[in-house]
Amino acid sequence: MNNKVRDYDPADLKALHEGFVSAFSDYFVTFQPGEEQFKRRISHKLNIVSKYSPLAWKNGKVVSFAFHTLNSYQNLQTLYNGGTGTIPVERRNQLASELLMHTAQKANDNDIERILLEVIEHNTAAVNLYSKLGYEKTRLLKCFKLKNTVPKKAKLEVLPSNALKSEYEDFGDFEPSFIDSSNQLKFNLSNETILEAYLDEELAGYIIFQSRLGRISQIAVANKHRGKDVGTALINAAQKRSAGLDLTIMNIPEYEYETIHALERLGFENELNQIEMELKL
C-alpha cells in the first residue's frame, strides 16, 4: 500500500469526517452527517476501537477508512464494521480491501471470533468485495420509515426512564442487530431517550430512540399486552419527542413476521434491505 496507514486517533475526527462525506457522496442513500452528528455516531453509537480502525492517508487527507467496534454479541467476541469507504478518486487502488485484510489479521491475532457488518442489498460492488474477502451472508434485514402521524388510541401511561432494564430482554421476540443490542446501546445512552408504557401499573412495553434523528433503536411489547395499542402509544410518544422527524427503525430480520406486520399496521414502510455478513476467524 503506497498510502500512509495508521490507526484512528480522536484528533483525526475532522479529517475522518471529511473523508467519510466524500466517500459517501454518491452512495445509494443520502448520508451526509454534520461533524457533530458524525462524532456522536463514531464515539458513542459505534464506540469505535482505534486499534481496529485503520485510516489510509494521502497528502494529509483520509482517503480510505474501515472503523470497527468490539463487543460480545450472540455470545461471541465480535468485531463490528461500522463503516468502510474510499473517496471516489482512489477507489481503483483497492485501499478498502487492504484495510479490511489488515484488520482481520489483527483481530485473528487477538482471538476475536468473527467480524460482522451490514451492507445495502443492492450494493453489489460491496457485497462482492466482502465475499472475496471471505465474508458470508447470514441474514436479510429490513429497514422501515414512518412518515405519517400515529394517533394515540389507548389511555396508557407513558413515562421516561434513564436506564436499560433487565426486564426488556423478556419482551422482544428476537435480539436486535449488533448496533442496537443492549451491550452496545449502553455506550450511546446519553443520546437515547427511553420511554416505558404501563397498563394497570405494570410495565407493558418500551421504546428506545434517538430523538435528534427519529431513529428507533429498540421497541418491544410484553407478549401478554399485545393487541392493546401499547406499541401505538409508544410510537406516538416518540413522534412527539422527535421534532416532527420521520421515524425509522433498522435491521428487522426478514423472518420476524409478527414484528414486521405490527410495524406495517402502524404505517411503517420497508424502504430498503441490508444483508448481514460475517467473517469467521
Same fold, 4-112 and 144-276: yes
Q: Distance (Å, rounded) from C-alpha 248 to C-alpha 41? A: 16
Architecture per CATH, domain 144-276, reads as: 3-Layer(aba) Sandwich (3.40)
Q: Where are the chain's structural domains? A: 4-112, 144-276
Q: Which residues contact 83 (CB under 8 A, 6 or more apart)?
A: 20, 42, 46, 65, 66, 67
Per-residue pLDDT of the chain (281 residues; tens, 9 = 90+): 457 999 999 999 999 999 999 998 887 776 788 999 999 999 999 999 999 999 999 999 999 999 999 999 999 999 999 999 999 999 999 999 999 999 999 999 999 999 999 999 999 999 999 999 999 999 999 999 998 888 777 678 999 999 999 999 999 899 999 999 999 999 999 999 999 999 989 999 999 999 999 999 999 999 999 999 999 999 999 999 997 789 999 999 999 999 999 999 999 999 999 999 999 99
Phi, psi of 131 (to 5 degrees): -60, -40
Whole-Å CA distances, 174 to 16, 78, 80, 221, 259:
34, 18, 19, 12, 9
Question: Hey, what amino acid is at 261?
Answer: H
* pLDDT of amino acid 154: 67
Q: Which fold has domain 4-112?
A: Aminopeptidase (3.40.630)
* pLDDT of amino acid 273: 97
What pTM does this model have? 0.93
The x, y and z cell numbers of residue 52, run together, are 481496529
* pLDDT of amino acid 150: 84
Q: Distance (Å, rounded) from C-alpha 208 to C-alpha 199? A: 18
